Amino acid sequence: MAEKISSNKTEKALGGSAHRIGVVSDTHGLVRPELVEAFSGVEMIIHAGDVGGAEVLEVLRTRAPVVAVRGNMDGGPWARGLRDAEVIEIDRTLLYVLHDAQEIDLDPAAAGFRAVISGHSHRPALCRRDGVLFLNPGSAGPKRFRLPVSAAILHLEGESVEAELIELKD
């Protein structure tokens, strides 16, 4: 897999025409074995912030390359290398990743993005607006309130971008 990282964009040249990408957010320092298992066979993992520590990214990297953004709870020296937002290009398909979707400062459809990936709310959500897929995988970290523990798989093939939410055992 070739990877080019510039100041504002990560480009991935992945083999084949169909791609399976793991998406997670709000781990808050916890990597559940069920999450690692759910990401078996993914080509990349996107972490939408509130990682909770470098060790989370290290564990996820044992499955696939990881692109992560900084969440509002990510501080300290380990988090300085994380950006507030990432643009990922996979086979000319643009994905915009940030922690809090309320902070998006652009029109994703006008900018050519096929998906916006975020976290922060701990609530899994999947919808489409103006042809753009909005995906929040929910929280895979410590259980909060009555919210499910979840992640997602993003499927890209040609111009098609689809996602499935995955509920993990608590």
Instruction: From 79, 96, 120, select the one nearest 8 (Cα to Cα).
Output: 96
Tell me the residue type at 158.
G
Query: What is the residue-averaged pLDDT of the chain?
Result: 91
SS3 content of the chain, % helix, strand, coil (to 5): 15, 40, 45
Asked whether residue 73 is assigned to any structural domain, the reply reads yes
Asked whether residue 12 is assigned to any structural domain, the reply reads no
Asked whether residue 9 is assigned to any structural domain, the reply reads no
Dihedral (CA of 59, 6, 42, 155) sign: positive
Report the number of distinct structural domains present in the chain.
1
Asked whether residue 125 is assigned to any structural domain, the reply reads yes
pLDDT-based confidence at 158, cuts 50/70/90?
A: confident
Asked whether residue 96 is assigned to any structural domain, the reply reads yes
Asked whether residue 56 is assigned to any structural domain, the reply reads yes
89 in Cβ contact with 83 (< 8 Å): no
Domain boundaries, position 24: 17-167
pLDDT at residue 159, rounded to an integer: 83
Asked whether residue 137 is assigned to any structural domain, the reply reads yes
Asked whether residue 62 is assigned to any structural domain, the reply reads yes
pTM given for the model:
0.91
Q: What is the CATH number of the domain that holds 93?
A: 3.60.21.10
Q: What is the pLDDT of residues 40-59, one digit of tens each?
A: 999 999 999 999 999 999 99
113 in Cβ contact with 94 (< 8 Å): yes
First CA to last CA distance, the chain = 34
Instruction: From 36, 42, 41, select the one nearest 57 (Cα to Cα).
Output: 36
Tell me the residue type at 127.
C
pLDDT-based confidence at 1, cuts 50/70/90?
A: very low
